[in-house]
C-alpha cells in the first residue's frame, strides 16, 4: 500500500507539472517578443506595430491567465501530497518560493494589468516600461522556482539537525548561487524563448498561407525568427553547461541519459540509437541494437576533457575501485548505520545519556552523506528509468537542432523574398509549434525522472517524502485534475484559435 501512495502521488505531481509547463514556456518567450515589438512601435511610431503588439499581447494574456491555475495547484501539492518533504526541507525549499511570490510574481502581476489595460491611459513610455517589467518579472519568477528545483538536483548550503530530523539552511548564498540552479534556469528560460519564437513564427506562417494580414505577419515572423535563432544558439550553449553540471553532480542521471553501462575514458556520445530491451544491469548483453556515436564527445561535453572517465551504470551500482567509485550496496550499508545512529542519538537524548548521545552524534556525522541511501532496498534502485531518460533526452536534443535549422531557413527565405511561396516551409513552421511543446516537456522528463529515486538527490528518497494520506484520496484528485486541466487546455486552445482567426488588424 505504501508503494501505491508513492506512485499515485508521483503521477499526480507529474500530471500537474506537465500541464503547467504547457503554459509557462509560452509566457516566458512571448513576454520578451511582445516587449521587442512594442519597443519598435514606440521608436518608429508606426501604427501597424501597435496592431502587431496588441495581437500577440492578447494571446499572451489568454495563456498567462489560464496558466496561473496549474501553478497554484502544484505549489499546494507540496503540502497535500508531499508533507514529509515539506517538513524535512521546508526551511530551505520554501525560501526561494517565498521570494518568488513576494518579489517576482507581485511585480509581474501588477505591471501585467498596466500592460494589458493601460493602452491610452498611460504614456507610451510608461506602457512600454510596464511591458518590459512583465517580461523581467516572469523570468524572475522562473529564476526563484528553478533555484528551488536546482537545490533538489544538487543540495548545498544546508545541515541536518538531529534533534528535529530536518535539513536546515546554513548558507543562503550557497543555495541561490548553486551552479546547478543557474544552469537549469538559463536552459529552461532559453527553451521558453524558443517556444515563444516557434509560436509567433508558426501562427504568422498560417496567416501567410491564408493570404491574410500578410504585411503584419511578415513583420511578426522576422521578429520571431530572429529572436528564435539567437535564443536557439543560447539554448545549445546553456544545454552544454547543464550537461556539465549533471556530469559533475548526478552521474546516475548522465549514465541513464546516454545508456552507458560500462564506463570508460574518452567516452563517445550517442547521436542516435535503439536500446536493447533485453539488457539488464550487470549482464553482458549488448547495450544497443544499433547506434551512431560521436567519438570522445561525451567526455568533452560532460567534463570538458577529452580523456575524462565517464562512469557507467554498472560502475555506479557495483562500484569501480580503480576509478574510486564506491558501490551502491556499500553506500546503503553506511546509510543504515547513519539511520541507526540517529535513532540511538534521539533515544540517548530522551534518556539524558549525554555520553552515548555524543558518541551517536559522532557516528552519524561520519556517515551523514550516506543517510538517504539507508532507506533504499536494492542497489539497482539508484539508477533512474533508463529507456525513458535516454529517449527523452535524445528526442529533445534532436528537436532543438531542428528548431535552429528552421529559424535559419525562415530568415534565409525572407532575405530571398521567397517565404510566401515556400508552402512546405510554412507548413513545417506550423507543425513545429507542438514539437516545441514536446521538446520542453521531454526536458522536464529528463530532469525529474533522471533524478529518481530521489526527491532530494542522494539525501531524501521519493518514497520517504509523501504524505500519510489514503491512496484513494490521491486517485480521486488525480482524475479530477485530469478533467480540470484538460478542460483548461481545451478552453485555451479554443479561445486562442478564435483570436487568431479574428486576425492581427482586429486585435
Query: 94-146, pLDDT tens digit by residue?
Result: 888 888 777 767 777 778 888 888 888 888 999 999 999 989 988 888 888 88
- CB of 110 closer than 8 Å to CB of 495: no
Task: Find, among 87, 249, 95, the residue nearest to 171 by Cα.
Answer: 95
- CB of 242 closer than 8 Å to CB of 187: yes
> pLDDT below 70 — which residues of the chain?
1-3, 104, 505-507
Residues 6+ apart with CB under 8 A from 57: 34, 38, 115, 116, 131, 507
Q: Is the peptide bond before 453 cis (omega within 30 degrees of 0)?
A: yes
Residues in the chain: 507
DSSP notation for 251-275: HHHHHHHHT-SS-EESPPEEEEEEE
Residues 6+ apart with CB under 8 A from 11: 478
Task: Find, among 148, 24, 153, 21, the residue nearest to 92 by Cα.
Answer: 148
φ/ψ bin of 319: left (φ > 0), alpha (ψ from -120 to 50), beta (otherwise)? left
As a whole number of angstroms, the distance between CA 311 and CA 448 comes to 20
Please give the DSSP secondary-structure letter assigned to residue 380.
G
- Cα–chain-centroid distance for residue 457? 15
C-alpha cell at 46: 508606426
Cβ neighbours around 86 below 10 Å, total: 17
Instruction: Give the three-class secondary structure for 454.
Output: strand
Task: Find, among 83, 80, 56, 71, the residue nearest to 16 by Cα.
Answer: 71
Residue 3 has a pLDDT of 65
Give per-residue pLDDT as tens, 259-299.
Answer: 999 999 999 999 999 999 999 998 888 999 999 999 999 99
Residue 506 has a pLDDT of 54
| Mean pLDDT taken over the chain | 90
As a whole number of angstroms, the distance between CA 196 and CA 48 comes to 21
Residue 1 has a pLDDT of 45
Amino acid at each position: 500500500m505504501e508503494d501505491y501512495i508513492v506512485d499515485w502521488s508521483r503521477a499526480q505531481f507529474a500530471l500537474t507539472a506537465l500541464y503547467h509547463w504547457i503554459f509557462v514556456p509560452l509566457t516566458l518567450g512571448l513576454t520578451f517578443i511582445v516587449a521587442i515589438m512594442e519597443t519598435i512601435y514606440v521608436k518608429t511610431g508606426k501604427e501597424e506595430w501597435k496592431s502587431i503588439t496588441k495581437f500577440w499581447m492578447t494571446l499572451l494574456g489568454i495563456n498567462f491567465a489560464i496558466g496561473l491555475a496549474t501553478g497554484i495547484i502544484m505549489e499546494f501539492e507540496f503540502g497535500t501530497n508531499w508533507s514529509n518533504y515539506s517538513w524535512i526541507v521546508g526551511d530551505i525549499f520554501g525560501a526561494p518560493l517565498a521570494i518568488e511570490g513576494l518579489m517576482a510574481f507581485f511585480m509581474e502581476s501588477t505591471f501585467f494589468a498596466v500592460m494589458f489595460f493601460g493602452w491610452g491611459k498611460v504614456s507610451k513610455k510608461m506602457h512600454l516600461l510596464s511591458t518590459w517589467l512583465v517580461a523581467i518579472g516572469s523570468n524572475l519568477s522562473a529564476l526563484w522556482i528553478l533555484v528551488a528545483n536546482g537545490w533538489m538536483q544538487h543540495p548545498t548550503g544546508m545541515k541536518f539537525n538531529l534533534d528535529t530530523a530536518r535539513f536546515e539552511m546554513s548558507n543562503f548564498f550557497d543555495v541561490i548561487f548553486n551552479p546547478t540552479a543557474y544552469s537549469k534556469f538559463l536552459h529552461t528560460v532559453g527553451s521558453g524563448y524558443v517556444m515563444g519564437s516557434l509560436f509567433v513564427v508558426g501562427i504568422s506562417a498560417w496567416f501567410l498561407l491564408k493570404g491574410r494580414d500578410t504585411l503584419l505577419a511578415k513583420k511578426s515572423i522576422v521578429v520571431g525568427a530572429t529572436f528564435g535563432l539567437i535564443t536557439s544558439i543560447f539554448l545549445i550553449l546553456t544545454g552544454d553547461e547543464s550537461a556539465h553540471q549533471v556530469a559533475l553532480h548526478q552521474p546516475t542521471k548522465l549514465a541513464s541519459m546516454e545508456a552507458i553501462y560500462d564506463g570508460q575514458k574518452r567516452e563517445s556520445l550517442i547521436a542516435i540509437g535503439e536500446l536493447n530491451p533485453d539488457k539488464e544491469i550487470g549482464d553482458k548483453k549488448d547495450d544497443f541494437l544499433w547506434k551512431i556515436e560521436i567519438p570522445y564527445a561525451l567526455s568533452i561535453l560532460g567534463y570538458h576533457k577529452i580523456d575524462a572517465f565517464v562512469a557507467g551504470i554498472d560502475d555506479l551500482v557495483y562500484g569501480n575501485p580503480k576509478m574510486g567509485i564506491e558501490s551502491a550496496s556499500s553506500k546503503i550499508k553506511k546509510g543504515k548505520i547513519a539511520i541507526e545512529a540517529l535513532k540511538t542519538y534521539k533515544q540517548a537524548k530522551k534518556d539524558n545519556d549525554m555520553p552515548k548521545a555524543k558518541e551517536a552524534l559522532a557516528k552519524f556525522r561520519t556517515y551523514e552523506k550516506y543517510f538517504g541511501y539507508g532507506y533504499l532496498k536494492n542497489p539497482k534502485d539508484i539508477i533512474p528509468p533508463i529507456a525513458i531518460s535516454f529517449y527523452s533526452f535524445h528526442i529533445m536534443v534532436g528537436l532543438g537542432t531542428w528548431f535552429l535549422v528552421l529559424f535559419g531557413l525562415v530568415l534565409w527565405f525572407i532575405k530571398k523574398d521567397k517565404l510566401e511561396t515556400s508552402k512546405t516551409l510554412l507548413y513545417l513552421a506550423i507543425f513545429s509549434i507542438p514539437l516545441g511543446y514536446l521538446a520542453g516537456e521531454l526536458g522536464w522528463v529528463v530532469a525529474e525522472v533522471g533524478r529518481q529515486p530521489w526527491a532530494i538527490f542522494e539525501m531524501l528518497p521519493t518514497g520517504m517524502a509523501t504524505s500519510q494520506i489514503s491512496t484513494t484520496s490521491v486517485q480521486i484528485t488525480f482524475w479530477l485534475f485530469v478533467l480540470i486541466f484538460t478542460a483548461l487546455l481545451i478552453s485555451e486552445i479554443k479561445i486562442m484559435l478564435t483570436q487568431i482567426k479574428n486576425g492581427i488588424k482586429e486585435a
